[in-house]
């Protein structure tokens, strides 16, 4: 009999959270559940906690504490609420933490898991974008292990393993191109919320769906890849691949290109983060290459998708600029989702805020939190005065 690994799932009510629950349910012999968290969705949080027999359930917004207590009153599941409770949940002794909160809100709990040397399956790319080298330094200091959950970074992680890291020529980060890949710029001006949320290949939460439509998601992934893998910024190229079958590639100095392929189903990379260095069975649809027929690749268009250019600029200039990019983008995406700004205004707003605030040297995590809060205020003010 093998010992079960205990898992905590942060953001269990989201798209990544639901896929994680699906895997944990089908491998109940291998995994037990320590803690689950959500922001406000009490019903889905309580359901996941009960189904997986979690020890603890935490709701981020304290206004929902009583509702959660009521929903779990017939169980022995511990209940807590608020930002500090999220951090305390991350400090509980689980072997693996799946970090699937959306946005910089996930940074404090993820750092708490890192600081106790846990294995972190990182979906929440915004944390690595805004805290960058400070977060990787914490990982090294506390002997934590970070396994990427983003399908592209999981692909790179899988084809990089046990290979000569100093023999990498290029990392090729694939991008679906999103719903507006073939749209003219003039038509992108009138994109609606519903059109932007309808991703052609992946079913995801609202924020990442909009990021995919603007291609900011690929920009955030560029910065994430630079922090995760031993390459220079110039060695990371983005290539548009509309079928989302090749999840990313690594080119070595002898000209070999190694790729990881699979159907667009997040359960595969999540399962890998849970089972690494082993593999477990996942019921993801299998690729039928004869039906797929062909795989296409094209260069990205930074004119129609300026977010790609902005993210590369943030990576090149470094310091606090990636923190600024991320926070401004979170506020602009929220404004678009609330129909307060147009689709093209998202990247324009990010650019305006980046230009206005510029970059400072990044020296401490406190500075990350201060910068994040200041940029949110500046971006909201910039939107209000537009
Ligand atoms: P969702 O919007 O579907 O879910 C977000 C989760 O975070 C929910 O559980 C939500 O709780 C919780 N949450 C939101 N705000 C807060 C907050 N302030 N404090 C605490 N918890 C909060 O997002 P996704 O699952 O799509 O994405 C999660 C992360 O994974 C993102 O960083 C995304 O970029 C990344 N990712 C997602 C992929 C996907 O396929 N979805 C693919 C690769 C990466 P509640 O439900 O209560 O609001």
E strands present in 52-160: 56-59, 78-81, 96-99, 119-122, 145-148
| For ligand 1, mutation pick of 16, 99, 105 (most atoms within 8 Å of CB) | 16
SS3 for 195-214, per residue? Answer: HHHCCCCCCCCHHHHHHHHH
Give residue 161's pLDDT: 61
Instruction: For 128-165, write each residue's pLDDT tens digit.
Output: 999 999 999 999 999 999 999 999 999 999 999 666 68
> How far is the centre of ligand 1, averaged over its atoms, from the C-alpha of 1 (Å)?
34
Q: Which atom of ligand 1 lies nearest, measured to the CA of 124?
A: 32
For ligand 1, whether the C-beta of 60 sits within 6 Å is yes
| For ligand 1, mutation pick of 9, 10, 14, 174 (most atoms within 8 Å of CB) | 14
**Whose structure tokens read 């309808």?**
198
Q: Note if the bond before 154 is cis, omega within 30 degrees.
A: no
The sign of the dihedral angle between the CA atoms of 217, 223, 228, 231 is positive
Q: Which atom of ligand 1 lies nearest, measured to the CA of 16?
A: 25
Measured by CA distance, the residue closest to atom 45 of ligand 1 is 39
Please state the pTM of the whole predicted model: 0.98
Of residues 315, 314, 309, 316, the one with CA closest to residue 357: 314
For ligand 1, whether the C-beta of 41 sits within 6 Å is yes
Q: Which atom of ligand 1 lies nearest, measured to the CA of 103?
A: 32
What dotted CATH number matches 5-148? 3.40.50.720
* Domain range list for the chain: 5-148, 152-185+193-264+288-301, 318-386
Q: Residue 352 corresponds to which tokens in the numbers above?
A: 């305006």
For ligand 1, whether the C-beta of 128 sits within 6 Å is no
> How far is the centre of ligand 1, averaged over its atoms, from the C-alpha of 197 (Å)?
15
Instruction: For 77-99, write each residue's pLDDT tens digit.
Output: 999 999 999 999 999 999 999 99
Residue 336 to residues 177, 185, 213, Cα–Cα distance (Å): 19, 17, 12
Q: Which atom of ligand 1 lies nearest, measured to the CA of 39?
A: 47
For ligand 1, whether the C-beta of 101 sits within 6 Å is yes
For ligand 1, whether the C-beta of 98 sits within 6 Å is no
CB burial of 17-29 (b: ≥16 within 10 Å; e: otherwise) equals: bbbbbbbbebbee
Q: Residue 212 corresponds to which tokens in the numbers above?
A: 């995919």
**Which residues of the chain register pLDDT less than 50?**
none
For ligand 1, whether the C-beta of 105 sits within 6 Å is yes
Domain 318-386, CATH 3.40.190.10 — does that match?
A: no
Distance between CA 71 and CA 373 in Å, rounded? 33
């Amino acid at each position: 009999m093998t010992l079960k690994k205990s898992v905590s799932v942060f953001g269990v009510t989201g798209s990544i959270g639901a896929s994680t629950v699906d895997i944990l349910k089908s491998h109940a012999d291998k995994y037990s559940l320590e803690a689950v968290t959500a922001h406000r969705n009490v019903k889905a949080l309580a359901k996941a906690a009960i189904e997986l027999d979690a020890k603890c359930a935490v709701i981020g917004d304290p206004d929902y504490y009583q509702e959660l207590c009521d929903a779990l009153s017939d169980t022995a599941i511990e209940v807590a609420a608020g930002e500090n409770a999220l951090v305390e949940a991350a400090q509980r002794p689980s072997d693996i933490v799946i970090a699937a909160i959306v946005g910089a809100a996930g940074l404090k709990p993820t750092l708490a898991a890192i600081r106790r040397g846990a294995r972190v399956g990182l979906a929440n790319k915004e944390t690595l974008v805004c805290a960058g080298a400070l977060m990787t330094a914490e990982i090294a200091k506390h002997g934590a292990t970070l396994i990427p959950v983003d399908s592209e970074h999981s692909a790179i992680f899988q084809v990089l393993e046990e290979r000569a890291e100093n023999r990498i020529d290029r990392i090729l980060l694939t991008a679906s191109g999103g719903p507006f890949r073939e749209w003219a710029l003039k038509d992108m001006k009138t994109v609606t919320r519903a059109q932007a949320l309808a991703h052609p290949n992946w079913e995801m939460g609202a924020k990442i769906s909009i990021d995919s439509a603007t291609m900011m998601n690929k920009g955030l992934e560029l910065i994430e890849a630079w922090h995760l893998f031993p390459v220079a910024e110039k060695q990371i190229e983005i290539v548009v691949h509309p079928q989302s079958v090749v999840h990313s590639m690594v080119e070595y100095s002898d000209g070999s290109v190694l790729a990881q392929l699979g159907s667009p189903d997040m359960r595969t990379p999540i399962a890998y983060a849970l089972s690494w260095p082993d593999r477990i069975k996942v019921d993801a649809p299998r690729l039928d290459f004869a039906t797929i027929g062909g795989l296409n690749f094209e260069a990205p268009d930074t004119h129609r998708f300026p977010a790609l250019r902005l993210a590369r600029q943030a990576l090149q200039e470094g310091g606090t600029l990636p923190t600024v990019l991320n926070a401004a983008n979170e506020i602009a995406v929220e404004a678009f989702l609330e129909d307060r700004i147009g689709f093209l205004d998202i990247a324009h707003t990010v650019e305006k805020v980046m230009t206005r605030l510029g970059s400072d040297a990044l020296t401490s995590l406190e500075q990350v939190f201060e910068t994040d809060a200041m940029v949110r205020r500046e971006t909201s003010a910039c939107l209000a005065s537009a």
